[in-house]
Amino acid sequence: MTDLVLAAVGAGIAGLFALGFYGLVGRKSLVKVVLGLEVLGKAATLTFVLGGFLTDDLGRAQAFVFTIIVVEVIAAALALALVVNVYRTTGTLSVAAIRRMQG
């Protein structure tokens, strides 16, 4: 690959990371926070793939990627289960409304 393509892939990964971080920090709904977390995980996965390509060690990068995917699935399932539980308890998915609760 040329340096221009690698720079474009790196910029895309940085964009995904920024988008995921914004979704994680700046959103008002718990579902959007979970989606931001997933996008952030995909950026980390792509970073490992690019690192494996640059160091000519794709086998190790694939092992890390498969491990990350399994951890992401478990984290997403737990997070969505917590979101459903919070909605059943509070009746809302708004982060601001949940923060105002006491008790």
Per domain, the residue ranges of the chain are 3-100
How does pLDDT run across 1-32, given as a tens digit for each residue?
Answer: 788 999 999 999 999 999 999 998 987 899 99
Under 8 Å between Cβ of 46 and 62:
no
pTM for the model stands at 0.85
Taken in order 46, 49, 55, 61, the sign of the CA dihedral is positive
- Which CATH code is given to the segment(s) 3-100? 1.10.287.3510
pLDDT greater at residue 97 or residue 16: 16
pLDDT score at 103: 65
User: Cα dist. 14→21, 33, 40, 50 in Å?
Assistant: 10, 18, 10, 12
With a pLDDT cut of 70, the percent of the chain lying above it is 98
Give pLDDT, residue 2. 84
What pLDDT does 99 receive? Answer: 84
